[in-house]
Amino acid sequence: MTTSNTGSGDVDPAVREELARLRDSIDNIDAAVVHMLAERFKATQQVGHLKARHQLPPADPAREARQIERLRTLAENAKLDPAFAEKFLNFIIAEVIRHHERIAEDTVNGSTPLAN
């Protein structure tokens, strides 16, 4: 499968079909990633409420370090760049901590119900 060389920019229909198939797969994976992240954040919100009820700190550096090492190993095994995986997890962790800080503040101020 190659592009035509007519200079008109036309693409071989077989190439166009393969590209569409691959893009459909990417779109499905993106949707799955979004849904998995939504589920993850639902769970971390519950953790945030539990921490707030028991006056635990929003961040847990020891757990975060373990999770980063675990994810780096998973990434290596999956042939994914471990540095990328670590950056991705650090981004998620920062967002989770931000949520936990907000939940703790809202709990102290009485603007968020303690149960969740």
Superfamily assignment of 39-109 in CATH? Chorismate mutase (1.20.59.10)
Which tens digits make up the pLDDT trace of 11-52? 999 999 999 999 999 999 999 999 999 999 999 999 999 999
C-alpha to C-alpha distance for 58 and 102, rounded to whole angstroms: 9
pTM (2 d.p.): 0.78
Give the helix ranges, DSSP H, for 1-116. Answer: 13-53, 61-77, 82-109
* pLDDT at residue 113 in the model: 54
Segments making up each domain of the chain, as ranges? 39-109
